[in-house]
Amino acid sequence: MAALLRKARPVVSTMMWIPARGFAASVGTDVVKAAPDVKLQKARTWDEGVSSQFATTPLSDLFGGKKVVIFGLPGAFTGVCSAQHVPSYLKNAEKFKEKGVDSVVCVSVNDPYVVNGWAEKLQAKEAIEFYGDFDGRFHKSLELDLDLSAALLGHRSQRWSALVDDGKIKTLNVEKVPSEFKVSGAETILGQI
């Protein structure tokens, strides 16, 4: 499977990692304007979903007037995502607060119930806000989507991280391939704040 994942789009290194193909997401992009009709689904149990009438979160609520560190990953319960990506943010949650970050957000192309189960298993829900991008529209609108059908995952997300201040991307880091974990971890973005 790792060999299949290595065949993903390349990334070119400059001061920060920027994808070889032009993503809609880049430094300066207003995330809310780039995806005006997209809403994410906060991680929750099925019963919480029912009681909230399956409420969704508009991007303006997530990013408006806030400094947010957000990271995206291919999927809940997958290897690098569970063993390295989320733990790096969990371990550094207090350091982000010290740097004035209002919230640390993880978004995955999964439904909010799977994301909730995963976040609970990782014991990370207190430090990180988890959201599902159940249909991948958020990642597609920013062109951070990736077809991992060859690995039996379907359409997913690149592995990436960003600092978003009042809706505008200040820093964006995208891995060369989703099986790598070199530029999208918490330590990298802490050094960019």
Beta bridge partners of 71: 106, 161
* Catalytic residue annotation: 81
Neighbours of 58 (CB within 10 A): 15
E-assigned strands of 11-167?
11-13, 17-19, 39-42, 57-58, 67-73, 103-108, 129-132, 145-147, 155-157, 160-165
d(CA 103, CA 101): 6
d(CA 169, CA 9): 21
How many helices (H) and strands (E) the chain has is answered by 10, 11
Given a contact cutoff of 8 angstroms between Cβ atoms, the answer to whether 148 and 178 are in contact is yes
Q: What DSSP character marks residue 120?
A: H
